[in-house]
Amino acid sequence: MFSIRSIISSAVLFVFMLAGTAYAAPKQPAADAIEKRAAAATPMKASAVEKLYAGRTWKWQNGGGFYSAETTARGLFSANRKPFAAWSRKRAAWSYAEGNWYATNGGKLCMRALWTSKVAKGSLARSGAITCFLHREKHGVVYQKPFKGGKWYVFRHNPARRDDEARKLVKGNRVSKEVSHLKANSR
């Protein structure tokens, strides 16, 4: 049996995760045409996905996630894993995450992290999460979609456009300071 607290905590975590990615898929006309073009595109190699994200922060409406370019070797199967940190805030509620990210030759990008969230009345909830996106490319156009559900959308046009989601990937670590601040406030 699940306690009501764990159910609420899981629901809050899910909302925070959606808050970060809900704006990742801009509304575009002709979604069926995009689906067809994405289906005809080739899954990106791990090295191409890493080049797209490594050393960059993906800025969200209420936070962001940093994909470190450094590789950490903590365990037997973590050779290709790199540190990942993120935060999200909406009014008095906030979350931060620490974990790792990796890419596969099937074009999959995954973030595996432990999220700490401030929920109702100042209590904290912690929950692990794995979030993945698929990437395909054809003629310089990068398509992306959430691994579970969602629809393909153009992540980066060729040539790039001002409203491309890929433009929200900015060089440098723009999350660690806020993650440290939120961590300090969670003690």
Over the stretch 101-160, which tens digit does the pLDDT of each residue have? 999 999 999 999 999 998 767 788 999 999 999 999 999 999 999 999 899 999 999 999
CA-CA distance, 118 to 184, in Å (whole number)? 12
Is the pLDDT score of 77 beyond 60? no
Residues 129-143, buried b or exposed e (16+ Cβ, 10 A)? Answer: bebbbbbbbeeebbb
Is the pLDDT score of 175 beyond 50? yes
pTM for this predicted structure: 0.79
The more confidently predicted of residues 99 and 6 is 99
Question: What is the domain partition of the chain in residue ranges?
Answer: 4-185
The more confidently predicted of residues 94 and 81 is 94
Is the pLDDT score of 16 beyond 90? no
Is the pLDDT score of 179 beyond 90? yes
